[in-house]
């Protein structure tokens, strides 16, 4: 197979061992003689995967017993609706830090009174708003901890006077998180914890059932708490791969170790962006994401953008094109992105500099 360095934003790079084990399970799931995609989800062999996966989440993120962990379909985008349906009674506040945050807010607006407390839309979301106050008269405050498209990240678990709900699609399991500060954490698996097709929810159970609206069965999180994520057929194969991904993560030493590795990788790449006169970073330095590194050609070198894409592609770099709404480059360096890939990209930038400075 061709050697590539995969920097795509999601679906994205996954640990090789998770992929290898998935391939094995597609042939024979746990010695049953049945491929994992043909096994009934109402079997003890499948139950064991669900139990193991929930236990891994609980252990890796230190999730207390009064929270349930759900694995559903629909993606984070359906999660936006789950949030509003299950938590919005009178009013909700959102931090508008990008397109995903806006989409989350849109769903809440359709169901009630929801608004942005602060926004960084004025400068194409290249920073995290600060100095705002979280209102106390709202049902919840919603944040997007990592803004995948713009490369900004909220690096700390904030204190909130109202239930805090976070879309952590693109930085879940990249660092330790104090789950007790959140009413709910949710996201699509396809950036850090598995393939597309499964959406995770970590929800504080006693906060459910407080809204007066009728919630359609499938959109009611209580349905899935009661059904242990198997009210209907769960996304069996994505959950299997997620479980393998988490086993890999645990084997490396868990989220503390992962966090250290992620910081190291991000530092290497940002250092090169800051040093290399041909490139410049786009996100405010204090808000730079450890997961998505966004940069452009520096002033005077803008005309070299296409040439750098081609140059990098020739050297095996793939997926470094910035999101269509911002342009430039974006290297997504999620958990499973090896340090060697980051070093290869840096070497590529240095080589390119030699050609052009
Ligand atoms: C990718 C992404 C989403 C959208 O996820 P889907 O599973 O495709 O709906 C939402 N929020 C963030 C922060 C993302 O990175």
- Residues 184-223 pLDDT 10s: 999 999 999 999 999 999 999 999 999 999 999 999 999 9
Overall average pLDDT of the 160-186 stretch:
98
Overall average pLDDT of the 87-104 stretch:
98
Query: Model confidence at 238, in pLDDT bands (50, 70, 90)?
Result: very high
Which pairing describes strands 279-281 and 292-297: parallel, antiparallel, or unpaired?
Answer: antiparallel
How far apart CA 343 and CA 332 sit, in angstroms, is: 13
pLDDT at position 27 over 90? yes
Q: Which of 71, 103, 349 is nearest to 233 (CA)?
A: 71
* Active-site residue, from 157, 191, 204, 220: 191
Identify the CATH class of 254-355: alpha beta
How far apart CA 138 and CA 288 sit, in angstroms, is: 29
Overall average pLDDT of the 44-54 stretch:
97
How far apart CA 74 and CA 83 sit, in angstroms, is: 13
Distance from the alpha carbon of residue 184 to the mean position of ligand 1, in angstroms: 16
The neighbouring-strand residues paired with 211 are none
Residue that has been written with the tokens 């995770």 in this structure: 200
Residue 58 is predicted with a pLDDT of 98
Residue 279 is predicted with a pLDDT of 98
For 68, counting Cβ atoms within 10 Å of its Cβ (0-12 exposed, 13-18 middle, 19+ buried), the class is buried
For residues 218 and 74, the answer to whether their CB atoms sit within 8 Å is no
Tell me if domain 16-252 and domain 254-355 are identical in fold.
Answer: no
Query: Model confidence at 90, in pLDDT bands (50, 70, 90)?
Result: very high
Query: Model confidence at 3, in pLDDT bands (50, 70, 90)?
Result: confident
Count of CA atoms in the C-beta half-sphere (13 A) of 68 = 17
* Rg of the chain in Å (alpha carbons): 21
* Chain segment 243-266, per-residue pLDDT in tens: 999 999 999 999 999 999 999 999
Query: Model confidence at 325, in pLDDT bands (50, 70, 90)?
Result: confident
Average pLDDT, the chain: 97
pLDDT at position 85 over 80? yes
Overall average pLDDT of the 36-63 stretch:
97
Tokens matching residue 76:
């984070």
Distance from the alpha carbon of residue 76 to the mean position of ligand 1, in angstroms: 5
Residue 1 is predicted with a pLDDT of 72
CA dist list (Å): 192 to 65, 109, 153, 168: 24, 29, 15, 10
The finding on whether 144 has its CB within 6 A of some atom of ligand 1 is: yes
Residue that has been written with the tokens 């997926």 in this structure: 319
How far apart CA 336 and CA 248 sit, in angstroms, is: 9
Active site residue 46: no
Tokens matching residue 58:
């609980």
* Chain segment 303-323, per-residue pLDDT in tens: 999 999 999 999 999 999 999
pLDDT at position 2 over 80? no
Residue 249 is predicted with a pLDDT of 98
Residue 40 is predicted with a pLDDT of 96
How far apart CA 216 and CA 143 sit, in angstroms, is: 25
Overall average pLDDT of the 279-306 stretch:
97
Identify the CATH class of 16-252: alpha beta
Tokens matching residue 5:
């360095």
The neighbouring-strand residues paired with 119 are 96
Minimum CA distance residue for ligand 1 atom 3: 76
CB atoms within 10 A of CB 179: 18
- The domain limits of the chain are 16-252, 254-355
Query: Model confidence at 326, in pLDDT bands (50, 70, 90)?
Result: confident
Identify which of 8, 77, 173 to mutate to test ligand 1's pocket (most ligand atoms within 8 A of the CB).
77
Identify which of 8, 148, 169 to mutate to test ligand 1's pocket (most ligand atoms within 8 A of the CB).
169
Residue 190 is predicted with a pLDDT of 98
């Amino acid at each position: 197979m061709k050697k590539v360095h995969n920097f795509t934003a999601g679906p994205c790079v996954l640990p090789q061992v998770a992929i290898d084990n998935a391939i094995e399970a597609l042939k024979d799931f746990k010695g049953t003689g049945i491929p994992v995609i043909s096994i009934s989800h109402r079997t003890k062999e499948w139950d064991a995967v669900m139990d193991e996966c929930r236990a891994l989440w609980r252990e890796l993120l230190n999730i207390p017993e009064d929270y349930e962990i759900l694995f559903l379909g629909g993606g984070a985008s359906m999660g936006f609706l789950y949030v509003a349906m299950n938590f919005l009674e009178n009013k909700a506040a959102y931090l508008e830090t990008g397109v995903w945050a806006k989409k989350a807010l849109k769903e809440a607006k359709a169901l009630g009174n929801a608004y942005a407390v602060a926004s960084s839309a004025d400068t194409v979301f290249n920073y995290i708003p600060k100095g705002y106050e979280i209102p106390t008269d709202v049902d919840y405050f919603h944040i997007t901890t990592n803004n995948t498209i713009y490369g900004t990240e909220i690096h700390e678990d904030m204190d909130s006077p109202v239930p805090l709900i976070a879309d952590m699609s693109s930085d879940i399991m990249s660092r330790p998180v104090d789950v007790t500060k959140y009413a709910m954490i949710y996201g699509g698996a396809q950036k850090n914890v598995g393939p597309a097709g499964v959406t995770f929810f970590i929800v504080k159970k006693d906060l459910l059932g407080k809204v007066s609206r009728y919630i359609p069965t499938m959109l009611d999180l209580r349905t899935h708490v009661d059904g242990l994520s198997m009210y209907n057929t769960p996304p069996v194969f994505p959950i299997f791969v997620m479980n393998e991904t988490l086993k890999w993560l645990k084997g490396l030493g868990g989220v503390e170790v992962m966090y250290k590795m992620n910081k190291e990788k991000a530092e290497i790449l940002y250092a090169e962006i800051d040093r290399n006169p041909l490139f410049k970073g786009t996100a405010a330095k204090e808000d730079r994401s450890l997961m998505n590194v966004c940069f452009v050609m520096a002033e005077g070198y803008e005309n070299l953008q296409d040439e750098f894409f081609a140059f990098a592609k020739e050297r095996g770099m793939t997926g470094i094109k910035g999101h269509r709404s911002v342009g430039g480059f974006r290297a997504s360096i999620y958990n499973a992105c090896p340090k060697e890939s980051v070093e290869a990209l840096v070497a590529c930038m240095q080589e390119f500099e030699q050609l052009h400075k």
